[in-house]
Amino acid sequence: MISLTDTVAWGALQAHFPRVASEHLRDLFAGDPDRFERLSLRACGILLDYSKNRVTAETMDLLRALACESGVMERAHAMVSGVRINETEDRAVLHALLRDSRDSPVCKVDGALRAGVERTLEAMERFSEEVRSGRWRGHGGERITDVVNIGIGGSDLGPRMVCRALAPHADGPRVHFVSNIDGAHLTSTLRGLDPARTLFVVASKTFTTVETMTNAHAARRWLLDAAGDEAAVARHFVAASTNRAAVVGFGIAPEHMFEFEDWVGGRYSLWSAIGLPIAITVGMTQFRALLAGAHAMDRHFLEAPLDRNLPVTLALLGVWYVNFFGAETHAVLAYDQRLDRFAAHLQQLDMESNGKRVTLASTTVDYATGPVVWGEPGTGGQHAFFQLLHQGTRLVPADFIVAASCDHSLKDQHRLLVANCLAQTEALMLGRSEAEVRADLAAGGMPLGPSNRLASHRTFDGNRPTNTLMFERLDPFTLGALVALYEHKVFVQGAIWRVNSFDQWGVELGKELATSIARELANPDGVRPHDASTGGLVAEYRRLSG
Ligand code: G6Q
């Protein structure tokens, strides 16, 4: 197989790049009054305006040719047909099945798999309703008021992000999330909670993850210190996992284990039993609406032609900036306080999926792959890092995300929020030329001397690319569609970069070393030779900790 950089489509993009790189977005807009209409798409209630990108119609055609030459959609159809596309772990990748519709399915898989998904959803529905209605009681007969999800990585970030985003819909017990091995996380979360009214969800695909199991055992001790009876564990702990034996070994009854399968990757698992805290706090109807939104996006992704396809378009624009403009990062700027964990979720989704340098053919890439993904909700960022976005030396492509309507009563503030979002993308695109700055300064009465000094500081180059994603409101359906949109974006990029987006070997080495260093920190005689830095730090820890 020829290398990606030797493909016809790649060569054509390389030849095309200098022409586009020298164009200013201001001129592209001036030369085409229909640019917004031509370069915007709608699906599942989401508008994607990608007109403020440094592309022409030809660029998009060439990028789509790259997707075709890379067999992106063939791979997508293989994924939803249950082909083991996660080759390095020999697993299928079927998170789309978790949200598939029985009436109009997109996955072509065995009925038994589908039935298993439905069984888990029904079990989640029964259990979440019991907890929400108060029929489920703690060991002492008290109603549950607080649910603590203990999990990390994919067993934390997705459900945590969704619970925060859907907070206006929450009418069940309060949910809390504990992930860090740092005991401060569990301690501060449990402070103020009543063991008699607290339910723990131990969320772990493997049920072996050190952080999760350590926190789960500490939580178990906290409960038993108060309850004084081992039998309390069965009323205050449930699990979302694939590892039945370990769950039962912990003291959780098998009927209180919510199962999923190994074809659900951690960072794609919020749609599975890992979503239990979501179902408990907002109810199963809303959880099913979240799944329906994701399903609608799955269908759109699989069926829309490439030039109308939102995930494909977002992915190709990302490839354009990473591989041709040399962008190192990608910002996700949600103008929505409720999406304050959205960038964190996308960080894992994107960076754990495509932060790879070896292809599926086991060759080392000679091109860049996944960017550093980062972001904060607007408008806070405007008063912090936006300076660099506007006037720094780096190109940082960014996605702006905003809902037209809000669920609170401060409508004027929401209008201001939207105004800020639109103003930023306009400013990043247009910039402000030195001539305009000079004219402004002169109009304000500034003499020529100071004006000469200040003008360049106050000039904005513009030409900084952004996508805007706008929808009516952040309801469960739209959130589901939005998350699935990014899942498929990441999939498309992984397919183009030829990496396996579904493994995560890169997290293993640090885990291994932490286990052995933990033993050394506990036992001074067990120290093995280290490099000078690590050895020095082990010694310093000993000295400081006594
Ligand atoms: C995600 C990764 C990883 C995983 C955590 C937790 O895709 O696989 O983040 O979710 O390591 O694993 P467990 O759910 O097995 O505890």
Give pLDDT, residue 452.
Answer: 86
Is residue 95 annotated as part of the catalytic site, yes or no?
Answer: no
Atom of ligand 1 nearest to the CA of 206: 15
Mention every residue, 6+ apart, whose C-beta is less than 8 A from residue 383.
none
Give pLDDT, residue 546.
Answer: 80
Is residue 108 annotated as part of the catalytic site, yes or no?
Answer: no
Residue among 93, 149, 152, 501 whose CB has most ligand 1 atoms within 8 A, to mutate: 152
| Ranges under pLDDT 70 in the chain | none
CA 267 / ligand 1 centre spacing (Å): 7
Q: How far apart are the first and last CA of the chain?
A: 58
Query: Which residues face 178 on adjacent strands?
Result: 150
Please check whether residue 389 is in contact with residue 331, taking contact to mean a CB–CB distance below 8 angstroms.
yes
Instruction: Map tokens 């005689």 to a residue.
Output: 525
Give pLDDT, residue 512.
Answer: 82
CA 297 / ligand 1 centre spacing (Å): 24
Please check whether residue 471 is in contact with residue 56, taking contact to mean a CB–CB distance below 8 angstroms.
no
Is residue 87 annotated as part of the catalytic site, yes or no?
Answer: no
Q: How far apart are CA 208 and CA 192, in angstroms?
A: 28
Residue among 160, 181, 202, 205 whose CB has most ligand 1 atoms within 8 A, to mutate: 205
Closest CA to 173 of 226, 235, 131: 131
Atom of ligand 1 nearest to the CA of 211: 16
3-state secondary structure 232-291: HHHHHEEEEECCHHHHHHHCCCHHHEEECCCCCCHHHCCCCHHHHHHHHHHCHHHHHHHH
Give pLDDT, residue 148.
Answer: 98
The residue whose CA is least distant from atom 2 of ligand 1 is 266
Q: How far apart are CA 272 and CA 291, in angstroms?
A: 10
Distance of CA 39 to the CA centre of its chain: 25
CA 507 / ligand 1 centre spacing (Å): 10
Angle, alpha carbons 331-332-334 (nearest 5°): 145
Which of 383, 457, 508, 512 is the catalytic position?
383
Q: If residue 471 lies in a helix (H) or strand (E), which one and from where to where?
A: strand 466-471
The residue whose CA is least distant from atom 11 of ligand 1 is 153
How many CB atoms sit inside 10 A of residue 470's CB? 20
Give pLDDT, residue 179.
Answer: 98
Instruction: Map tokens 């929401």 to a residue.
Output: 414
Please check whether residue 273 is in contact with residue 207, taking contact to mean a CB–CB distance below 8 angstroms.
no
CA 317 / ligand 1 centre spacing (Å): 29
Angle, alpha carbons 226-273-471 (nearest 5°): 115
pLDDT in tens, 231-243: 999 999 999 999 9
Q: Which residues line ligand 1 (CB under 6 A)?
A: 152-155, 204-206, 209, 212, 265-267, 352, 504
CA 312 / ligand 1 centre spacing (Å): 26
DSSP string, 400-444: EEEESS-SSS-HHHHHHHHHHHHHHHHHHHH-B-HHHHHHHHHHT
Q: How far apart are CA 143 and CA 136, in angstroms?
A: 7
Residue among 91, 247, 267, 505 whose CB has most ligand 1 atoms within 8 A, to mutate: 267
Atom of ligand 1 nearest to the CA of 274: 14
CA 152 / ligand 1 centre spacing (Å): 6
Give pLDDT, residue 513.
Answer: 86
CA 116 / ligand 1 centre spacing (Å): 21
CA 207 / ligand 1 centre spacing (Å): 10
Residue among 504, 505, 509, 512 whose CB has most ligand 1 atoms within 8 A, to mutate: 504
Q: How far apart are CA 514 and CA 182, in angstroms?
A: 14
The residue whose CA is least distant from atom 8 of ligand 1 is 266
Catalogue the E-assigned strands of 318-423: 329-334, 372-374, 398-403
Q: How far apart are CA 418 and CA 122, in angstroms?
A: 39
Which of 211, 259, 261, 352 is the catalytic position?
352
Atom of ligand 1 nearest to the CA of 209: 16
Instruction: Please tell me the pTM assigned to this model.
Output: 0.97
Atom of ligand 1 nearest to the CA of 152: 6
Give pLDDT, residue 510.
Answer: 85
The residue whose CA is least distant from atom 5 of ligand 1 is 153
Q: How far apart are CA 355 and CA 490, in angstroms?
A: 11
Q: How far apart are CA 99 and CA 291, in angstroms?
A: 5
CA 522 / ligand 1 centre spacing (Å): 26
Which of 217, 230, 511, 540 is the catalytic position?
511
Residue among 209, 215, 270 whose CB has most ligand 1 atoms within 8 A, to mutate: 209
pLDDT in tens, 54-109: 999 999 999 999 999 999 999 999 999 999 999 999 999 999 999 999 999 999 99
